[in-house]
Amino acid sequence: MEKEFTEGDAFVAAYSEYFGVVYKEALKYSGNHHIAEEIAQDAFFTAYIQCGSESKQQIKTWMLMFARYRAMNYIRDHKREVPLAEITMSEDRYPNSLIDDSSEDQVVALLKEKCFRELGIDIFQELYQKNARWYKAVTLVYYADMPQKEVAKRMGITLNALEGILKRARKWMIKRYKDQYDRLHDI
């Protein structure tokens, strides 16, 4: 069989004659000039590679179908994409502290927060083992944020006695954990 489409000037003539029709078909279904151009070029390239013995009319029909389905597939595959130019950051949703920090700074901040949380857990566990009354007073006043008067009443002690317990507990925590806290704070 002869290669009517790909031999000599036949391809150039077909390209000149059909490019506009194939492009319009792709544009009709894709709605995007750039995509339609790519699809039309791809249709001719694929036709040149795969077709050779078909007539020009068969090639035209095939390229029109190719353009239509390629455009519909493009739309299906890219319908959820949002162009970068359309994405805007609202300062309410993304505070400047998160936008300006590098990824490394964010990781360091997260690790630091994790270490402080673990230190707090260690302090409370050891405080409970050291003195259960101190633990109860510190937990109710500083963690549960209860008024000291109410905590004193609940524990069955005077307000002065509660203040003494809190002072001794703070003094013990500072003596025991000040170095660890300072090291974490300096990171």
Convert the pLDDT of each residue in 98-149 to its tens digit: 555 567 778 888 888 888 888 888 888 898 899 999 999 988 888 788 899 9
CATH class given for the domain over 118-186: mainly alpha
Domain boundaries, the chain: 10-84, 118-186
Contacts of 98 (CB under 8 A, 6+ apart): 106
Q: What is the pLDDT of residues 171-183, one digit of tens each?
A: 998 898 888 888 8
Helix (H, G, I), strand (E, B) or coil at 32: coil
Alpha helix locations (H) across the chain?
Answer: 10-30, 33-50, 56-78, 96-100, 103-130, 132-138, 148-155, 159-186
Q: What's the predicted TM-score (pTM) here?
A: 0.43
Cβ atoms 53, 3 nearer than 8 A:
yes
Q: Which residue has the tokens 């151009």?
A: 37
Rounded Cα distance between 67 and 44, Å, is 10
Is residue 161's pLDDT more than 90? yes
Q: Which residue has the tokens 């029109």?
A: 64
Give just the sign of the alpha carbon dihedral 139, 140, 145, 151. negative
Cβ atoms 66, 43 nearer than 8 A:
yes
Rounded Cα distance between 21 and 17, Å, is 8
Q: Which of 29, 23, 40, 26 is nearest to 79 (CA)?
A: 29
Q: What is the pLDDT of residues 116-129, one digit of tens each?
A: 888 888 888 898 89
Q: What is the mean pLDDT of the chain?
A: 81
Contacts of 75 (CB under 8 A, 6+ apart): 29, 30, 31
